A and B are shown apart, each in its own frame.
Chain A
Amino acid sequence: MNPQIALPILIPLLAGSVSLVFWRSRSMQRFFAVAGTAGLLLTSLWLLTTVSRDGILVMHMGGWPAPFGISLVADLLGAIMVVLTGIIGFAVALFSLATVGRGHEAYGYFPLMHLLLAGVAGAFLTGDIFNLYVWFEVMLVASFALLILGSEKAQMEGAIKYVTLNLVSSVIFLVAVGLLYGMVGTLNMADIARRLATLEDNGMVDVLAMMFMVAFGIKAAAFPLFFWLPASYHTPPVAVSALFAGLLTKVGVYALFRVFTLIFHQSPGYTHEILLWGAGFTMLSGVLGAAAQFEFRRILSFHIVSQIGYMILGLALFTPLAIIGGVFYIMHHIIVKTNLFLVSGIIHRLRGTYQLKSLGGFYRSHPWLAVLFLIPALSLAGMPPLSGFFAKFIVIRAGIEAEAYGITFIALLVGLLTLYSMIKIWAEVFWKSTPPEGDVDPYPELNPREMWLMSAPVVGLALCTLFIGLNAEPIYALAEASAGQLLAPERYIEAVLGEAGEVMP
């Protein structure tokens, strides 16, 4: 028995329920926020070491053998994603201690955060397509509630768009699952893959593939389905923004990777061609949207969209190197993007605004903060030797090797425009002198403990970025191994259904 597969789901659920029990005790909730996410991080590391040593781990819930019961499956991609969930969860929990107000904590901020992490980890580890839907919903409901904590006007307006589009995506997903079940009579992803391979008629399979692409494309914020993201991500408290930015869209990307490598690889000429176009437009529209913005978190939100394009590009090219690049990009992006949102949170805490126009002079007043911003910002733009350079390098090299020159050109161009956006933030927030109104109303000084709690996660994530960049070889090997598993779905199927893959009645 391998308890480490279930633990990354159980620990956040348990921590969430315990925090609910201590509804009135602020200190206990804060303690369990840190303890629960630390536990999640440790068990996820345990899971990753086990998976990289022993190969794909499978756990059949309730002792029901696949394909009848629900299986939890941890392959390398799933395990890597859970580790990233742990890192982000822990960092955001620490950051929340200093930034989330008492009002938000009193309305269940921490239990919701645990529930969100449980949903995310569950989506990464399940091997059952309907169960994936259920975890998506767990994650969504928690994110809905987190998004509107505080009930400000902007939050309400953002939440209506976010809730509507995500519900539509869930319904499309549900319909696709229902039709898939009607076709193959099973819900276990490995069993679906095996049975679809024996089907003669590929037309209906392509239709289902498109439905899954739209459903996960909305969750992943891919072109032309991303409009909910820049409308809502800059409205909640910054810790919530950081958590969403790091994890939620990446669950959609993960689901795309899982479904289009395991189940729908029958006609890549059709589906992956559409993904390729989608990736190109996602990159371009995201980065151009960001160029027009002058609000810190909105710029970052649009950059989430453009970066999603690179990950989907890795999947769409569908060569071994491209998949490696996609996985590497996900690892790099989750850490860097969360970090940038956390930096924006510190700046907001110091000056009380996200508008670039009214910020300024931070290089003079807080030089350490400038360095902490520059590391993830340059990494996002793809400067060597930071993590983003290697991520972009692998994806672009894969594009050139696949002779997809048009999309490679777009990827390079978008890298340049990303640098432009980051330099814009740098020039406005750090370099230019403080605008006059910034001096008039100095924001209340931070006490050292608060400062420490806010900086520790930022420094930690920046160290992760540097670690990935300066120590890229083992990370690349990990991405290579997980891409190997993704491109050989028969290993996944064999691990879930057993050696023979016996035919069920």
Chain B
Amino acid sequence: MEPLMAITIGILFAAAIYMMLRRSIVKLVIGLMLLSNAANLLIFVTAGMVRGAPPLVPQGLTAPEGAVADPLPQALVLTAIVIAFGVLSFAVVLVRRAWEIVRADDLDKMKDTDT
């Protein structure tokens, strides 16, 4: 399972970078979304994928028996998803406002602050 996930994550990163290198600001936002999804998936996979072994401690013991799934990356990925959601919704609104004000879907027309 892990090699497949690794390839998926790689494709997501590649697609994200491709989209971000385009001049359109809408594609830029799509690229950012793919980028954060790729990162979230990567965190999810980092601790290895264990199937059907919830990290539950049986009664009377202090540690679970045998190999169990690591719950921490799942907690991390939840936090990361929430943060990414908030930030990306801001980015979407920003792009819309920028389009309303600048009236261009082209990063090459947004060079007023660079000179």
Partner-B contacts on A (CB < 8 A) = 130, 134, 137, 140-141, 144-145, 148, 151-154, 156-161, 163-164, 167-168, 170-171, 174-175, 177-179, 181-182, 185, 187, 230-232, 234-235, 505
Option from A154, A163, A168 in Cβ contact (under 8 Å) with B112: A154
Q: Which residues of A contact B63 (CB under 8 A)?
A: 505
Tally of chain B residues near chain A (CB < 8 A): 37
9 contacts between A and B (CB under 8 A): A141-B90, A145-B90, A156-B101, A160-B107, A164-B28, A167-B91, A174-B80, A179-B42, A231-B113
Tell whether, in the assembled complex, residue B76 and residue A130 are in contact, meaning their CB atoms are under 8 Å apart: yes
CA gap between A354 and B104 in the complex, in Å: 27
Residue in A134, A185, A235 whose beta carbon sits within 8 Å of that of B113 in the complex: A235
Which residues of B does A touch, CB under 8 Å?
Answer: 20, 25, 28, 32, 35-36, 38-39, 42-43, 46-48, 63, 70, 72-73, 76, 79-80, 83, 86-87, 90-91, 94-95, 97-98, 101-102, 107, 110-114
**Whole-angstrom distance from the CB of B83 to the nearest CB of chain A?**
5
With contacts A181-B47, A231-B113 taken as known, whether A157 is within 8 angstroms of B36 at the C-beta atoms is no
Given A161-B113, A181-B72, output 4 extra A-B contacts at Cβ < 8 Å. Answer: A134-B83, A145-B90, A156-B98, A185-B70
Residues of A contacting B38 in the complex (Cβ-Cβ under 8 angstroms): 171
Per a CB cutoff under 8 Å, which of B86, B95, B113 touches A158? B113
Known: A153-B102, A154-B112, A181-B76. A167 touches B32 (CB 8 A): yes
A148 to B36, CA, bound (A): 23
Could you say which of B63, B83, B97 has the most chain A C-beta atoms within 10 Å of its C-beta? B83
CA distance A454 to B46 in the complex (A): 51
Q: Name the residue on B nearest A298 (C-beta).
A: B113
Closest to B35 in A: A171
Q: Give B15 Cβ to nearest chain A Cβ, in Å.
A: 14
B113 near A144 (CB under 8 angstroms)? Answer: no
B90→A178 contact, CB < 8 A: no
For the complex, would chain B's binding face be called helix, strand, loop or mixed by DSSP majority?
helix
Give the number of A-B contacts (CB < 8 Å). 103
Please report the C-alpha to C-alpha distance between residue A154 and residue B101 in the assembled complex, in whole angstroms.
10
The interface residues of chain B lying within 8 Å CB-to-CB of A170 are: 87
Known A-B contacts A134-B83, A137-B87; A167 and B36 likewise in contact (beta carbons under 8 Å): yes
Q: How far is the CA of A167 from the CA of B39 in the complex (A)?
A: 12
Q: A134-B79, A148-B94 are in contact. Are A164 and B32 (CB under 8 A)?
A: yes
Which A residues lie within 8 Å of B35 (CB)? Answer: 167-168, 171
> In chain B, what residue has the closest Cβ to A234?
B113
Q: Are B46 and A179 in contact (CB under 8 A)?
A: yes
A151–B83 Cα distance when bound, in Å, is 24
Cβ of B43 to closest chain A Cβ, rounded Å: 4
Tell which of B20, B70, B76, B112 touches A157, judged by Cβ atoms closer than 8 Å: B112
- Are A178 and B112 in touch, CB under 8 angstroms? no
**A137-B83, A181-B47, A505-B63 are known contacts. Are A156 and B76 too (CB-CB below 8 A)?**
no
